[in-house]
Structure formats: C-alpha cells, structure tokens
Amino acid sequence: MDHRAEISDFLRTRRARITPDQAGIIGGGRRRVAGLRREELAMLAGMSSDYYAKMERGHLAGVSEDVLDALARALQLDDAETEHLLDLARADTPVPVRRRAPKPADDAVRPSLQRFLDTVTGTPTIVQNRRSDVVATNSLGRALLSPLLDDPVNQANNARFTFLNPAARNFYVDWEQGATSLVASMRSHAGKHPHDRDLTDLIGELVTRSDDFRRRWAAHDVRFHRSGTKRLHHPAVGDLEFTFEAMQLPDSPGWTMYGYTTVPGSPTDERVRLLGSLAATAAPTTEATP
C-alpha cells in the first residue's frame, strides 16, 4: 500500500464528513461539498493552512503528538480513529535503532495455549491473528465456526469467508454490519503494521476480488473490535446470539482471543449446549486395536 496515499485519504475522508455546523462554523458561503475546507480545519486545529495541506498530502513525519491531538479534536475523531492517526504518523517517522519492534507471532499454537482453550468447555472460544486467520479454537469454538473452517477455499480466514463465500451472508445474520466492522478492524491493523506482507497481500486480494470489500476499504473507516453482540445462523442448531469479549495475547503479537458468552437459560444457551453435544458425538474417538 502507498503510505502517503493512506495518510492523505484518511485525513481527506475525515475532513469531508464534518459539516460547518458540526464544527461550529457560522456562514462560510456556498460550497460544492458538505465537508470543511482545508483552511477551516487548519484554523480549528490551530495551525497554518500550508502546514495542514502538507499533512493532507501524506507527510506526517516529525509532526508532534500535540499537533496530532489538536488535529484529532478538530476532525472529531473517536478513540480508534485517533489511534489510527498516531499509527500512520509513527509509520511515517523513522524508528530509532534502539527500539525493537515486537517479534511477530508465527502460526504455531503454544501447547499451553491450546490446553487452556481445551479447559473452556461451556463457551465457544477462538483465537484469530490480525489477518483474521482462525489459528486456534476450543471444541465448542470449532463446532460454532464449522461453516468457515470446513470451507477449504478460504483457508480458515474469516475475511475471505465473509467476502468471497456466499454462505457467509446466511451464517452471519448481520452480515452488512459485521463486514463493515471487519474491514474497519483490518484497516486499523494495517495502519499499525504497514509492513505486514501477509496482511497487505490479503487486502490486495480482497480489493481485487470483492466489490463489497473494495467499497468498504475506500471509506477509510477504523474501529476497535473489543466487545459486542454477534448473531449467527448455524446450520446444525439454528439462530444464535452471543455477547463477545476480546482479549489480546501479549506473547503472541497480533493474536486476539474471543469468548462468546450466552445468557443463562436463553434459547441460545440451550442451542449451544446442543451444539456441544453434537460436536462431542461427532468427535473421532481412539480405541485400542487388538
């Protein structure tokens, strides 16, 4: 990806969404577009028009955090967008040699992590990397995501499944919302890790193969994916509704563990129990041979 273009497009799209009324600007004359002019945003951020114009051309190297914070306030960025702006600036600034970047995690699952997942028996639990590959699950998580994991084409990758497999629109009840959130999360990761070749290759693949992905990617939206509600339609047990919680795994940079909980006694709770029974029945057993 062109990092200068990433910076430019992000700032331009954030500026374009703010109306003069939202920014507290009275008057301003007739405009061709609804968003703020560059000079108006520069005034709100307390900087010269020329300085902001340079930033919007994709140059954030050397810009202080105080200036970036002022710009974030003027653009009315939320926490995820502010962090993304800071990530873009860091990626545009040479990193001192003394600072060592975290070692990226490979796809090998530590035995201790898998043992922990296996002890979680009542809650579907999965681990994904920042490319949205499902790298580990417990038994119930494997059963829950069987439509994704049993598809050999998407290679256990949720982004490919979501945008390239028509079955995803039936599996994910709120497909539109989920697809938008997934792309926003991927853009956050791309801003933080612009040199992750596997991630950029995946983004390039999806931009080429999916109009739905390409349209969302062009919006430059970013979002944290830390908690929320997930509704699924599972082929074996029907409709399910979960509340999920996300937990970072510091010893595996880029990996996130998601736990999907249910309300006790709810229809989903009963169906998850049924799903667990079906998974246990279908699991291969090892018997001593004579």
The correct CATH number of 3-91 out of 1.10.260.40, 3.40.50.1820, 3.40.50.2000, 3.30.70.260 is: 1.10.260.40
Give the contacts of 257 (CB within 8 A, at least 6 positions apart). Answer: 125, 126, 127, 246, 247, 248, 249
Tell me the pLDDT tens digit for each residue of 109-145. 999 999 999 999 999 999 999 999 999 999 999 999 9
Q: Write down the pTM of the prediction.
A: 0.85
Rounded distance between C-alpha atoms, residue 266 and residue 60, angstroms = 51
Residue range 132-160: average pLDDT? 95
Does the pLDDT value for residue 74 go beyond 60? yes
pLDDT at 226: 86
Give the contacts of 232 (CB within 8 A, at least 6 positions apart). Answer: 144, 171, 172, 173, 239, 240, 241, 242
Does the pLDDT value for residue 55 go beyond 60? yes
Domain 111-282 fold is: Beta-Lactamase (3.30.450)
Tell me the pLDDT tens digit for each residue of 220-268. 999 988 899 999 999 999 999 999 999 999 889 899 999 999 999 999 9
Residue 208, SS3? helix
Burial of residue 275 (CB within 10 Å: 0-12, 13-18, 19+) is: buried
Does the pLDDT value for residue 45 go beyond 70? yes
Give the contacts of 132 (CB within 8 A, at least 6 positions apart). Answer: 157, 158, 159, 182, 186, 202
| Residue limits of CATH 3.30.450.180 in the chain | 111-282
**How are the residues of the chain apportioned to helix, strand and coil, as percentages rounded to the nearest 5?**
50, 10, 40
Does the pLDDT value for residue 210 go beyond 50? yes
Query: In one letter, which amino acid is 14?
Result: R
Rounded distance between C-alpha atoms, residue 206 and residue 217, angstroms = 10
pLDDT at 94: 66
pLDDT at 83: 94
Burial of residue 60 (CB within 10 Å: 0-12, 13-18, 19+) is: buried
pLDDT at 95: 57
Rounded distance between C-alpha atoms, residue 13 and residue 5, angstroms = 12
Does the pLDDT value for residue 67 go beyond 50? yes
Tokens (6 digits) for 205: 């693949």
Strands 134-137 and 125-128: antiparallel
pLDDT at 78: 94
| Residue limits of CATH 1.10.260.40 in the chain | 3-91
pLDDT at 237: 96
Using 50, 70 and 90 to split pLDDT, how confident is the model at 212?
A: very high
pLDDT at 31: 72
Tokens (6 digits) for 23: 């920014």
Q: What is the sign, positive or negative, of the torsion defined by CA atoms of 176, 180, 181, 185?
A: positive
Determine the distance from the C-alpha atom of residue 266 to the mean position of all C-alpha atoms in its chain, rounded to a whole number. Answer: 29
| Residue 13: closest CA among 49, 70, 56 | 56
Strands 238-248 and 256-261: antiparallel
Cα-atom radius of gyration of the chain, to the nearest Å? 22
